[in-house]
């Protein structure tokens, strides 16, 4: 498991144990989201998040290592839905809902999938996909889990970004169902004894 994947698991366990910590984290994420609606990612400063949330700087760093970690956490839910296509914990209908949400909030979504923010979002999706490659699958992967996670994440993210940019049009359900099929096929092809060995 990568350091980022381990950090996600640790963070989730810690937040579940302390209601005050969960509230502070929620305040920071809400402030970040409000700022992201009116500014580009590179224009948002930690000081702005602190001022809007009323959280002290030292407390912020107890929760997040910096702005990139805050962005990754804010995208955890939506990216988790996409990553859930890898292990079947989410279906195409779930993915269609989040894709429609991205599309309805096009300006915000495009800014998060472009420039400096895009790198952070991609890394967060790779980490979530890697976590979902279960131990039985890991032993059968043709690639190290991290590389397999990159392949699967890029297979989802690239079409979504192109769709949000308006490079081609289709409905959110059509895109979601296509992603679900493509991800399952790629995942199986990456497994020894999977589709690549049967073709």
pLDDT surpassing 60 at residue 195: no
Helix, strand or coil, per DSSP, at residue 84: helix
Q: How confident is the model at residue 183 (pLDDT cuts 50, 70, 90)?
A: very high
CA distance 162 to 74: 22
Q: For residue range 12-41, what is the model confidence (pLDDT) as tens digits?
A: 444 556 888 899 999 999 999 999 988 889
pLDDT surpassing 50 at residue 128: yes
Half-sphere exposure in the Cβ direction for 54 (13 Å, CA): 4
pLDDT of residue 194: 57
By C-alpha distance, which of 135, 132, 129, 131 is closest to 149? 129
pLDDT of residue 16: 53
% pLDDT > 70, the chain: 88
pLDDT of residue 10: 45
pTM of this prediction exceeds 0.85? no
pLDDT of residue 15: 52
Structure token pair of residue 166: 């308006």
pLDDT of residue 12: 47
CB 143, CB 20: distance < 8 Å:
no
pLDDT of residue 107: 82
Q: How far is CA 52 from CA 15, 57, 68, 194, in A?
A: 21, 12, 18, 50
Q: Which residues contact 3 (CB under 8 A, 6 or more apart)?
A: none
Mean pLDDT is lowest, of 108-112, 162-166, 174-178, 190-194, for 190-194
With 0-12 / 13-18 / 19 or more C-beta atoms within 10 angstroms meaning exposed / middle / buried, residue 97 is middle
Q: How confident is the model at residue 192 (pLDDT cuts 50, 70, 90)?
A: confident
pLDDT surpassing 70 at residue 167: yes
pLDDT of residue 17: 62
pLDDT surpassing 90 at residue 153: yes
CA distance 140 to 135: 9
CB 152, CB 86: distance < 8 Å:
yes
Partnered with residue 141 across adjacent β-strands are 191
Q: In whole numbers, what is the pLDDT of the chain averaged over residues? A: 88
pLDDT surpassing 70 at residue 66: yes
Residue carrying the six token digits 């967060």: 124
């Amino acid at each position: 498991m990568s350091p980022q994947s381990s950090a996600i698991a640790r963070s989730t366990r810690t937040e579940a144990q302390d209601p005050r910590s969960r509230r502070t984290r929620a305040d920071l994420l809400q402030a970040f989201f409000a700022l992201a609606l009116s500014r580009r990612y590179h224009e948002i400063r930690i000081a702005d998040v602190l001022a809007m949330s009323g959280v002290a700087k030292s407390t912020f760093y107890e929760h997040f290592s910096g702005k990139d970690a805050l962005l990754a956490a804010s995208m955890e839910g939506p990216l988790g839905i996409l990553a859930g296509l890898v292990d079947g914990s989410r279906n195409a209908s779930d993915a269609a809902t989040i894709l429609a949400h991205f599309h309805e909030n096009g300006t915000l979504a495009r800014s998060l999938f472009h420039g400096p923010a895009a790198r952070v979002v991609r890394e967060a999706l790779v980490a979530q996909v890697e976590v979902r490659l279960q131990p039985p699958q890991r032993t059968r992967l043709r690639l190290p889990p991290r590389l397999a996670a990159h392949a699967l994440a890029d297979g989802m993210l690239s079409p979504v970004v192109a769709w949000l940019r308006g490079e081609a049009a289709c409905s959110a359900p059509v895109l979601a169902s296509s992603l679900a099929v493509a991800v399952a096929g790629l995942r199986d092809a990456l497994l020894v004894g999977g589709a690549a060995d049967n073709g």
